Amino acid sequence: MPDFETRNPARPAEVVGRYAGTTAEGLERALAAAARAQASWRRIAGVERALALGRFLDAVAARSGDIARAITREQGKPLAEARSETAKAIAEGRAMAAFVATDSGEVRPSARAGVRNMVLRRPRGVIGAITPWNFPILTPMRKIAPAVAFGNAIVLKPSEFAPAAAQLVVDAARGVLPDDLVQIVLGGAEVGGALVSHAGVAGVTFTGSVATGKRVYAAAAAHLAEVSLELGGKNAAVVHDAPDLGACLDQVMLAACLCAGQRCTAISRVIVRRALHDDTVAGLAERAAAAKLGDGLDPATTMGPLTTAHQLAHVRELVEAGVAAGARVVTGGRPVEVAGCEGGYFHAPTVLDRVDAGNRVAREEIFGPVISVIAYDTLDEAFSILNGVGYGLTSSLFSQDAGVIRRFVDESENGMIHVNHGTIPDNHMPFGGIKDSGVGAYSVGPSAAHFHTTEHSVYLG
């Protein structure tokens, strides 16, 4: 992989990082060193590994200011968001350390007298991880923390658009975790493909698009590596009844425009009961128009740019396709120029009304600050719209009706289901999706063990 640069998406002429791409020989060295480190690390007791993970997280926290600034400069999100992302990444890691320190396996009933049955888990080996550019520390840490805690080594390839935060995290491991246990390789698709195709990788964890996820899945399958894929989403909030509609819309807008909408868990569809439709559209438009776009290092900025020119073009194309198919722009609807940020990849927060459920903008992941509003008359219609997409990551319902809530919990075809709040997950809860949104064990929480370890039935006679 050739050397490459990163640029400030608020001012693309500004180079903020220069990196040496990892060669094929460098990848081989990294994997071999990781395997050697893991051979010793796997023998360390789980409680000791959890304590070491805690010290590593302390080292990451000590660098949190530098990490947040690196995120903003390469990814574009406001500095306050970058700080929150860093804090959440550390908090999730601490929750994982606590789980590993207290998990004791399982004792199962025996079918035979005088025999004791147990289920034990062992470290899987070397984990290969590929992470995207939208959360430059949170997603890498969701892979590093459980890998280390469960006794594995990890080789991480962060996005070539925003690798600085991941480099700082790996640097924090030096002198705290065993040498070579946490490795980083740099580059684009060529490096990622070589990593996940390597026979020395026992588990492949990937976060990104469905299209790339399918290629990763096929490459891992060629050598029967375990996989954990966190893919896209076309998430909806169903607004059925809301005593405080303003508070409801505050949460919807936050979930839609955090990270400029570049979140797999972003709300991009609002499915609203017709009686609340007009007030919902007006309230969303008011909130969208109030956003202050700019460089993420400016304290006045509430929403930064999209991260790449390609992503800006994708959002623009999908909005235009939606409008051509009958959607009406209430506010936004186009890229914008921001004073002092020449050439920045900014797209106005956008509310689209009169969106048909079959419209591309209501079915395809947009990964930008765009909300499609769809009205419904019956609950059956609402749930049909909710579940009528290929994705199944997360969803939200706003209602005080116990029957509606019960049905939503039973019928929402999503891995994460929220009632009366947005789509931000807790630090200790399983994170993942179904349908086109994911394959394999969820990350975060106890379910991470199913990817990072192998399972063994033990019979003691």
Residues serving a catalytic function are: 230, 264
Burial of 260 (0-12, 13-18, 19+ CB in 10 A): buried
- Assign 334 to helix, strand or coil: coil
User: CA-CA distance, 293 to 298, in Å (whole number)?
Assistant: 10
Residue type, 26: G
In DSSP notation, 61-99 reads HHTHHHHHHHHHHHH---HHHHHHHHHHHHHHHHHHHHH
Helix ranges restricted to H, 290-359 = 309-324
Are the CB atoms for 216 and 229 separated by under 8 Å?
yes
Q: Which residues touch 358 (CB under 8 Å, ≥6 apart)? A: none
User: CA-CA distance, 174 to 343, in Å (whole number)?
Assistant: 38
Residue whose entry in the numeric block shows the structure tokens 């550019």: 133
User: CA-CA distance, 60 to 349, in Å (whole number)?
Assistant: 33
Are the CB atoms for 430 and 393 separated by under 8 Å?
no
User: CA-CA distance, 129 to 3, in Å (whole number)?
Assistant: 21
Largest interatomic CA distance in the chain? 78
Q: Which residues touch 38 (CB under 8 Å, ≥6 apart)? A: 123, 125, 126, 151, 152, 153, 181
Residue whose entry in the numeric block shows the structure tokens 């999908």: 318
Are the CB atoms for 322 and 342 separated by under 8 Å?
no
Closest residue by Cα to residue 443 from 180, 89, 193: 89
Are the CB atoms for 347 and 334 separated by under 8 Å?
yes
Tokens (6 digits) for 271:
């499915």
Are the CB atoms for 142 and 228 separated by under 8 Å?
no
Tokens (6 digits) for 186:
């740099």
Residue type, 419: V
Residue type, 124: R
